């Protein structure tokens, strides 16, 4: 895992040394992504510079160093990620007469570009990757991002430069750029608590969409096109396989995905929450290892949010070498000011805190960790896939006044009172975070169609624009594509896979882990597994009220059902109580009326009204408030 950056000086005002120095500044700003070594390469005749920071994982020798030139010197590359089938590709290239200097996956990919072409090679890759490739012959820059968006890549035409890098920090490190906030991006952030691709927080700077290639020659417009689309996968015909065959085929793919991701020349382990996804990955890892694997988890003092006991039970069963750490409000308070440094645009998934801590915990022992991220999207694990469909079926038979009556009833108790009431339910059947779920259900009953239900479930505010001084959100291509998917649950899963997964979940994991120089690999997002899962009918993934049916069946082959079958929680933190308690003064200072006025991004009136409503216990507002706080904290750090 590494960090990449670079630039093209469009007016060629910089000489080779100046280009290299500028590129070095860019790479040094993301040194945390690659603390081992760094390097620069320039083509001064074309005004191009590539820069790199390395976290050595495979081929720890100098032959794995980047930037790297192809054997014929035509191509230069910097690459962040891992290619898991590089050994097979290498063997194929050797048969075709290619010789290699080292054993790195970078060199294999680079020689593949020269032998098979850029797009054809990319389609052959199994892995996670963000690539910058310079074709010296055509004077063409290629930027390439993996199919699911596991690895980040930003780019933009900024003044007299074309800039690109793994993080916005790298672009900000260039001389003379004065970035301008994209207020429309802020409007989108206020809805989702993340900025959806292709926008970034800055005007003129974009995220390369997952599954995309960008081709750019100075003097021309950048050409972005897809080499793999989730829409093609979601719209393919379904195949009715016998249950046993489907389970066996899925497990074989998972085992292969896990096995490939266990290849490393450094120590590795697993991030374990005790849920179905991470349990399955850890169990398959242990089945592939002749030594106890290392597993890591974070716990909370608040029992409602604590999964450490569940993870401990899983670790004991599979026989892993397990380490856990508990997160206290005081520890969280110490970490919160660092969030804008890790996520250098506004980002407000509160599970970023425990993700950062578990990454640090793991990094103390290993350099690579596997995680279960992506299981909810691939195997339909989110509660909303069942709850929203059920609510829509019930709503379809109700008049408007009855819907409002149900919604009002659900909102009549505060989140805290619903949670207190939930304690009367036997623990084995008690939904976690009941209050949060009841208030979400109330918002669902006020919607008029399926798409409105989904949009409300993934939104933090009914009217995000009301908080802004200026800015207007828009919905992109993915939302239009989703209209072609007739089934409601499948439509929601598709949208989650192309929006929430890359722009929230994978962004969170990448920045949190890379801030500690830990490489996290996600076997459940192997594109072969995703393509197979979407050939199956929905009942293979959702059966009645049971989510992730297929994944559960695989998990039960390795871990007893009673250990992993429990209400879904997610990697949440007790935001509501923390914001009213130990984090109150920090929050109040950021939402101070005068400060809001001076910062100029948000209208103080609506913000203060929402904050006071939250403090009064009126509504389910903690996640939206967290978004406001993270935007203000980002402004304080970067604006």
Please give the average per-residue pLDDT across 345-359, as a whole number: 94
Let me know if 546 is exposed, middle or buried by CB neighbors in 10 A (0-12, 13-18, 19+): exposed
Tokens for 72? 């014929």
Query: What CATH number is attached to the domain comprising 278?
Result: 3.40.50.620
- pLDDT at position 423, please? 75
Residues 128 and 244 in one domain: no
Shared-domain flag, residues 123 and 256: no
Place of tokens 């207190």: 420
Verify that 245 and 197 share a domain, yes or no: no
Q: Quick one: pLDDT at residue 18?
A: 95
Is residue 606 domain-resident? no
Task: Report the distance separating Cα 207 and Cα 168, nearest Å.
Answer: 10
Q: What angle do CA 574, 578, 580 make, to 5 degrees?
A: 130
More confident residue, 450 or 296: 296
Residue that is last in its domain, among 181, 203, 228? 228
Higher-confidence residue: 266 or 1? 266
Does residue 433 carry a pLDDT above 70? Answer: no
Asked if pLDDT for residue 570 goes beyond 70, the answer is: no
Q: Is 57 left (phi over 0), alpha (psi -120 to 50) or beta?
A: alpha
Write the CA distances from 437 to 308, 432, 533, 577, integer angstroms. Answer: 22, 9, 28, 17
Distance CA(154)–CA(143), nearest Å, equals: 9
Torsion from C-alpha of 515, 150, 540, 250, nearest 10 degrees: -90
Tens digits of per-residue pLDDT, 48-79?
999 999 887 766 677 778 999 999 999 999 99
Note whether residue 439 is domain-resident.
Answer: no
Decide if 340 is inside a domain: no
CA 134 from chain centre, in angstroms, equals 27
**Same-domain pairing of 178 and 241:** no
Mean pLDDT, residues 515-519: 95
Task: Judge if 35 and 86 occupy the same domain.
Answer: yes
228, 252, 278 - which closes a domain: 228
| Co-location of 160 and 69 in the same domain | yes
Q: Where residue 80 sits, what CATH number does that domain have? A: 3.60.20.10
- Residue 328 forms part of a structural domain: no
Same domain, 211 and 244: no
Domain membership flag for residue 209: yes
| Residue 325: burial class (beta carbons within 10 Å; 0-12, 13-18, 19+) | middle
Q: What was the pLDDT predicted at 429?
A: 65
Same domain, yes or no: 249 and 150: no
- Tell me the average pLDDT across 371-381: 97
At residue 617, does pLDDT exceed 90?
no
Confidence at residue 391, expressed as pLDDT on a 0 to 100 scale: 81
**In a shared domain, residues 116 and 239:** no
φ and ψ at 364, to 5 degrees?
A: -65, -15
Chain segment 201-219, per-residue pLDDT in tens: 999 999 999 999 999 999 8
Do 236 and 208 lie in one domain? The reply is no
Between these two residues, 597 and 265, which has the higher pLDDT value? 597
Decide: 148 and 501 in contact? Cβ < 8 Å: yes
Q: How many separate domains does the chain show?
A: 2
Choosing from 564, 599, 617, the residue where a domain stops is 564
361 and 277 assigned to the same domain? yes
Give the Cβ contact number of residue 561 at 10 Å.
10
| Angstrom distance (rounded) from CA 227 to CA 250 | 24
On whether both 223 and 256 belong to a single domain, the answer is no
Assess if residue 478 is contained within a domain.
Answer: no
State the average pLDDT over residues 96-120: 95
Torsion over CA: 338, 342, 346, 349 (sign): negative
> What percent of the chain has a predicted confidence (pLDDT) above 70?
95
Residue 391 lies in a domain: no
pLDDT at 54: 87
Residue 59, pLDDT score:
66
Closest-CA residue to 503 (of 277, 227, 233, 193): 193
Q: Convert the pLDDT of each residue in 235-246 to its tens digit.
A: 999 999 999 999
What is the domain extent for residue 258? Answer: 232-294+310-318+352-379+496-564
198 domain residue, yes or no: yes
Are 498 and 476 spatial neighbours (Cβ–Cβ below 8 Å)? no
Sheet (strand 223-226) strand order: 68-69, 75-83, 127-135, 140-145, 212-216, 223-226
Predicted model pTM: 0.93
pLDDT in tens, 460-506: 998 899 999 988 887 766 777 888 999 999 999 999 999 999 999 99
Instruction: Dump pLDDT digits (tens) for 163-196.
Output: 999 999 999 999 989 999 999 999 999 999 999 9
Residue 590 binned pLDDT confidence (cut-offs 50, 70, 90): very high
Q: How far apart are the C-alpha atoms of 111 and 114, rounded to whole Å?
A: 5
């Amino acid at each position: 895992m590494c960090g990449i950056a670079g630039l093209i000086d469009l007016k060629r005002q910089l000489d080779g040394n100046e280009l290299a120095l500028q590129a070095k500044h860019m790479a040094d700003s993301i040194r945390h992504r690659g603390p081992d070594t760094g390097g620069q390469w320039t083509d001064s005749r074309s005004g191009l510079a590539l820069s790199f920071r390395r976290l050595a994982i495979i081929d720890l020798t100098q032959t794995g160093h980047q930037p790297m030139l192809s054997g014929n010197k035509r191509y230069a590359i910097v690459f962040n990620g891992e290619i898991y089938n590089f050994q097979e590709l290498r063997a194929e290239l050797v048969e075709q007469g290619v010789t290699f200097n080292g054993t790195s996956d970078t060199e294999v990919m680079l020689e593949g570009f020269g032998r098979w072409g850029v797009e054809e090679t990319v389609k052959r890759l199994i892995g996670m990757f963000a690539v910058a490739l310079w074709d010296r012959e055509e004077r063409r820059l290629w930027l390439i991002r993996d199919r699911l968006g596991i690895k980040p890549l930003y780019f933009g035409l900024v003044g007299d430069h074309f800039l690109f890098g793994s993080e916005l920090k790298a672009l900000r490190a260039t001389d003379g750029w004065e970035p301008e906030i994209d207020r429309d991006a802020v409007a989108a952030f206020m809805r989702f608590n993340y900025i959806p691709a292709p926008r970034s927080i800055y005007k003129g700077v974009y995220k390369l969409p997952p599954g995309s290639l960008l081709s750019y020659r100075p003097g021309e417009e950048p050409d972005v096109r897809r080499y793999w689309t989730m829409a093609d996968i979601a719209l393919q015909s379904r195949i009715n396989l016998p249950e046993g065959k489907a389970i066996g085929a899925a497990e074989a793919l998972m085992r292969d995905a896990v096995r490939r991701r266990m290849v490393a020349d450094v120590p590795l382990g697993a991030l374990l929450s005790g849920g179905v996804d991470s349990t399955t990955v850890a169990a398959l890892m242990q089945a592939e290892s002749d030594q106890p694997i290392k597993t890591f988890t974070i716990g909370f003092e608040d029992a409602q949010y604590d999964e450490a006991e569940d993870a401990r039970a899983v670790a004991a069963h599979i026989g892993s070498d397990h380490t856990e750490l508990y997160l206290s409000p005081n520890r969280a308070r110490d970490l919160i000011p660092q969030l804008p440094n890790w996520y250098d645009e506004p980002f407000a998934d509160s599970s970023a805190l425990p993700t950062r801590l578990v990454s640090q915990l793991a990094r103390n022992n290993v350099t690579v960790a596997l995680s279960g991220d992506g299981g909810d999207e691939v195997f339909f694990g989110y509660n909303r896939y069942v709850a929203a469909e059920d609510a829509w079926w019930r709503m379809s038979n109700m008049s408007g006044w009855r819907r409002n009556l149900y919604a009002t009833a659900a909102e009549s108790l505060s989140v805290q009172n619903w949670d207190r009431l939930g304690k009367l339910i036997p623990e084995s059947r008690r939904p976690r975070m009941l209050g949060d779920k009841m208030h979400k259900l109330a918002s669902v009953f006020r919607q008029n169609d399926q798409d409105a239900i989904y949009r409300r479930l993934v939104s933090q505010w009914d009217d995000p624009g009301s908080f802004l001084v200026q800015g207007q959100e828009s919905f992109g291509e993915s939302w239009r594509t989703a209209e072609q998917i007739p089934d409601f649950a499948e439509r929601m899963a598709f949208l989650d896979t192309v929006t929430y997964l890359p722009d929230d979940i994978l962004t969170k994991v990448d920045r949190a882990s890379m801030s500690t120089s830990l490489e996290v690999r996600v076997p459940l997002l192997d594109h072969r597994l995703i393509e197979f899962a979407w050939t199956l009918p929905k009942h293979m993934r959702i059966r009645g009220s049971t989510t992730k049916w297929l994944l559960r069946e695989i998990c039960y082959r390795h871990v007893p059902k009673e250990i992993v079958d429990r209400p879904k929680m997610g990697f949440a933190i007790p935001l509501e109580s923390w914001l009213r308690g130990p984090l109150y003064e920090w929050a109040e200072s950021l939402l101070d009326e005068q400060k809001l006025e001076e910062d100029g991004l948000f209208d103080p009136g609506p913000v203060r009204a929402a904050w006071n409503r939250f403090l009064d216990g009126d509504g389910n507002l903690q996640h939206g408030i967290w978004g406001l706080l993270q935007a203000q904290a980002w402004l304080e750090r970067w604006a």
